[in-house]
Structure 1
Amino acid sequence: MMASIARSALLRQAASASKLSLATSSAARQSIIANSVRASAFHTTSRRNLLPPLPQRVEGTVNDPAPVPEPSPSHGSYHWTFDRLVAASLIPMTITPFAAGSLNPTLDALLCATLLIHSHTGFQAIIVDYIPKYRTPRARKVFTWGLNAATVVVGLALYEFETSDVGLTEAIKRIWHA
């Protein structure tokens, strides 16, 4: 069963066509194989673009060097190190309130802030990676502002939840024991 899942559609259809070879004529076999080739190559054909290409723009000539981005300490190794530190700090900060049995509002607020920063930098990395500024500058700006607005709204919601309700760790405890 596992081997049949791992095979591509073309191989499965070719295998079924070979099984039908005893019962069908040569022309029928050829049409089955031709249809399976067309069906498996659907996504690579240039005649059927599923999505239109993004706007194309060429800057410079073939002999121009590749553009080198301006060095910035906030992007690159410091940015990566900060992301790893935030991600690594979430492990003990998530376990401590439940293991110690204490409900500390400061620790709870620190956990919420770290979760918010971790989520914001993760979505920011997705926007930077998948929405290039040079090809779609307006979409990049819209997504960046949308992320900033969502981060502010979630931050305010977490603050309100922490100050006027039971807090994050107590809510998780109540859900866990429900």
Structure 2
Amino acid sequence: MATALALRGISRNCTAGSRFGSLRLNGIYIVPSRLAVPSTQTACKALVPYQSKSFSLTSQRKAAPEIEQAGHDHVLHWTAERILSGILMGAIPLAIVYPTPSVEYVLALSMTLHSHWGVEAIVVDYVRPSVFGKIIPKLAVGAVYGLSFLTLGGLCYFIYTDVGIINAIKLLWKL
């Protein structure tokens, strides 16, 4: 704040150029050489705009318009991801120590959901409508959902009809 006030004071003392005759670069007005000050006056290289932006310690950023229109709540989603990570930290050791079908179903659901959110974030970030058009990103997200449902269904089928996830890993480890 003090820096902004000091720069504002410096810019008011400068007599070179007007606010409209200077070049704006990252919020600072640069005086072109054709508007240079005569040598008898103090020359200023940068003029700070008179209407400074407000400064706040709290983060109040606005999302991109397409995200705001979609109505996504990213704080809630981030909180859900952290809770799921905590559940996984407990579900994995519990499934190793106590490998019952019900614990393995919880493990399969939480691992599939965790993987789904990660792959979906990658697809949404890299398969953007501005690059691929409007149809391909929707197909890519649909493919992620389909792959996640197939994964969860396959894991549940494997738990129900075979030895289960943890016992299969133990059998593979014995090889």
Tell me the TM-score normalised to structure 1 length. Answer: 0.56
1:2-58 deviation digits (Å, cap 9, x = unpaired): xxxxxxxxxxxxxxxxxxxxxxxxxxxxxxxxxxxxxxxxxxxxxxxxxxxxxxxxx
1:119-166 deviation digits (Å, cap 9, x = unpaired): 111111101111223432222012111111111211211111011001
**Structure index of larger Rg:** 2
Q: How far off is 1:71 after superposition?
A: 6.4
TM-aligned CA distance change 1:67 to 1:155, over 3 Å: closer
AA in 1 matched with 2:150: V
Paired residue for 2:174?
177
| Structure 1 unaligned blocks of 5 or more | 1-65
Residue of structure 2 aligned with 1:87, choices 77, 81, 85: 85
Q: How far off is 1:74 after superposition?
A: 4.4
Paired residue for 1:158?
155
Taking the aligned partners of 2:156 and 2:106, their CA distance within structure 1 comes to 11
Residue of structure 2 aligned with 1:97, choices 95, 98, 107: 95
1:61-85 deviation digits (Å, cap 9, x = unpaired): xxxxx96342667431111111121
TM-aligned CA distance change 1:75 to 1:164, over 3 Å: same
Taking the aligned partners of 1:125 and 1:67, their CA distance within structure 2 comes to 16
Paired residue for 1:107?
103
SS at match of 2:124: helix
Larger helix share, 1 or 2: 1
Supply the RMSD in Å over aligned alpha carbons: 2.1
Kept in 1, the 8 Å contact 2:158–2:165? The answer is: yes
Tell me the TM-score normalised to structure 2 length. Answer: 0.57
State the identity as a percent. 25
AA in 2 matched with 1:77: V
Kept in 2, the 8 Å contact 1:73–1:79? The answer is: no
TM-aligned CA distance change 1:124 to 1:173, over 3 Å: same
SS at match of 2:129: coil
TM-aligned CA distance change 1:72 to 1:84, over 3 Å: farther
Relative contact order higher in (CA < 8 Å, ≥ 6 apart) = 1
